[in-house]
Amino acid sequence: MSLISDFSHTSRSSKRKVPTAAGILRARIAEQGLVHVMAAHSPLSAILVEEAGFDGIWASGFELSALYGLPDVSLVSMTQHLDMVRAMAEQSSLPIVADIDTGFGNAVNVIHAVRQYERAGAAAVVIEDKTFPKVTSLAPEGRQELVRIEEFVGKIRAAIASRRNPDFLVIARTEALIAGSGEPEALMRAAAYEEAGADMILIHSKQDTPDEVESFLNGWSGRAPIVIVPTTYPQMNEQRIRALSKIGMVIYGNHAIRATVTAMKDVFVRVRKDGGIHHVNRDLVSVEEIFRLQRMDRVRDDEKKFLT
C-alpha cells in the first residue's frame, strides 16, 4: 500500500458533512428565534462563556482594546484581534461573532479580512459603517462619522463575495443612530445593506431607554433579522426582545471585561486592606478550578500514555 492510499481514511472522513460553527449559528437562530452572544476578550473568557450556556462569543473590539489598556479607537491591529479569535476558536466550540470594526479600510481590506477571519474559525463578522479610524460608539461626544452608503454597500458586497462558506454570516452594523443621523437614515442604510446581501442588520444605540431601537424595529420591514447590543438600555431583557419578534441576536457587548475589572478591583483592594491574602482566599475560585479550565487532566493522561 502506498503512503498516499494510507491517508484514505482521512480523506473519506473529510468528505462527511461536519457542521461548521457558522452553520450551527444559523441553525440556532432559525430554531430558537433569538441567540444570546456574550463578549469575551481571551480564550479563558471564551471557555467561561461556553460553560455559562450562551449561544455564541462576541469577539469584542472594545474588550480587546481594554485588555491592552487602550481606548477602542482602531488602535488594536487586525493581526492582534485575529490572533485572539484563533486562540478562542481553539478553546471553545461556540460560534464566534467577530467584531471587525470598519473592516480595516476599504472594500479591498474587507475582502482580505473576511478570508482571514473565516480561516481563523469565526462564524460571523460584524462590519460597521463608520469612517476609519473609528471612535468607540458609547463614548460621550465621541467623533462619529459615517461613510457614504454607496461605499459601505461596496464593503458588504465585497464581504459576501469573499466568504467561502455560504453559512458564514456577514452582519452589517449601522451607526446612524449613534451618529445622530436619525431613524430615516438608519432605516435607509439598513435597507441598502440588506439589499447588498447582509445576513443580519445590527442597529446600535446609546440611548438609556429602548425607545429608539423599538421605534427603528417598528419601521423595519426588511427580512434580515436584527441584532442589538443593549448595553445602555439593559431594561431590554429577553422577554421584551422576544415580544418584538424581529430581533435574532442579542450581544452582551462588554460584560466580560467589566466583570473582570469589577472582580479584580475588589480583590486587589481587599488584599491591600487586609494586609495579605488570608481573607480573600476563601472567596476566590480554587487553584484546582483553574487547573480544570486549563485541562490539566489531559496533561496527566498524556503523561501516562506517552512519557515512557
- Which positions are catalytic? 72
CA distance 173 to 46: 23
Residue whose CB is nearest to Mg ion in the complex, by number: 61
Residue 73 CB, nearest approach to ligand SPV (Å): 11
Tell me which residues in 28-87 interact with ligand SPV (CB under 6 A).
39, 60-63, 72
Helix residue spans in the chain (DSSP H) = 3-6, 8-15, 21-32, 43-51, 61-67, 78-91, 107-120, 149-162, 183-195, 211-219, 238-244, 255-274, 287-294, 296-306
Nearer to ligand SPV, 28 or 204 (CB): 204
CA distance 129 to 202: 11
- Spell out a b/e string for 1-18, using b for 16 or more CB atoms within 10 Å of the CB, else e: eeeeeeeeeeeeeeeeee
- Residues whose CB falls within 8 Å of the CB of residue 118, separated by 6 or more in sequence, listed in order: 163, 164, 165, 168
Nearer to ligand SPV, 92 or 254 (CB): 254
Nearer to ligand SPV, 187 or 229 (CB): 229
Tell me which residues in 30-89 interact with Mg ion (CB under 5 A).
61-62
* Contact partner, 103, from Mg ion, ligand SPV, none, Cβ < 5-8 Å per class: none
Residue 179 CB, nearest approach to ligand SPV (Å): 12
Spell out, one character per residue from 108 to 147, where the chain touches ligand SPV: x when CB under 6 A holds, - when not.
----------------------------xxx---------
CA distance 244 to 241: 5
Task: Check residue 99 for interaction with Mg ion (CB under 5 A).
Answer: yes
DSSP class of 269 = H
CA torsion 45-47-52-54 (nearest 10°) is: 90
CA distance 49 to 287: 20
CA distance 21 to 243: 27
Nearer to Mg ion, 259 or 277 (CB): 259
Task: Check residue 231 for interaction with ligand SPV (CB under 6 A).
Answer: yes
* Contact partner, 25, from ligand SPV, Mg ion, none, Cβ < 5-8 Å per class: none
Q: Which stretch binds Mg ion (CB under 5 A): 10-18, 83-91, 97-105, 167-175?
A: 97-105
* Contact partner, 138, from Mg ion, ligand SPV, none, Cβ < 5-8 Å per class: ligand SPV
Task: Check residue 99 for interaction with ligand SPV (CB under 6 A).
Answer: yes
CA distance 38 to 157: 27
Nearest Cα residue to 54 out of 301, 255, 258 = 255
Nearer to ligand SPV, 72 or 276 (CB): 72
Residue 139 CB, nearest approach to ligand SPV (Å): 9
Binding site for ligand SPV (CB under 6 A): 39, 60-63, 72, 99, 136-138, 229, 231, 253-254
